[in-house]
Structure 1
């Protein structure tokens, strides 16, 4: 089977990175709080939320750095906001900020769309 014009092969390194990112929240949680225990399904869910945009870029075969930088920057912003709201709620005993949980559920869609737009803008060049 021959590849069509403009088709790209998925990035192997990007796929490995995306698969490894699935484990990052569980590893970080176990380092900071001890064994994950019964929270492992949530750690895997957070890992999937973290890895989705990078998996898209890997499967798209994005070779340009711009889409990867966009995905990294937006992911860092979302996860930084989550960590910041967690620290704030722990210090001020305000409880869980439910809105941040909803934002984190939407974050892979937002980051993946932004990465898609960056891929499209770099292909036009």
Structure 2
């Protein structure tokens, strides 16, 4: 089975390297998902506005991706890679951590508009 898997991985890698539309789509899919998730979170009238939702989703995706890449780079086994990603997903941005009552589904703290 591992020979078949490695053969599929090699074929997939070759296809990604030779067909320009595939890497473009691979880059576009996560961004599209983040945008759709932020939009969904912002539709809750008592929740986040679109900017806060986009920032929160981006922070989550970035944290998980950075943990994944770091664990892979240092050669961690798969279970440790998963653990690193789970730990990253559990982190909360400082603006949410500093407001313990704030979580999805609760109204954000009102901040003065800077006009910028």
Q: Shorter-chain TM-score category?
A: 0.3 to 0.5
**Which has the greater radius of gyration?**
2
Please give the TM-score of this superposition, normalised by the length of structure 1. Answer: 0.38
* Greater RCO, 1 or 2 (C-alpha within 8 Å, sep 6+): 1
More helix by share: 1
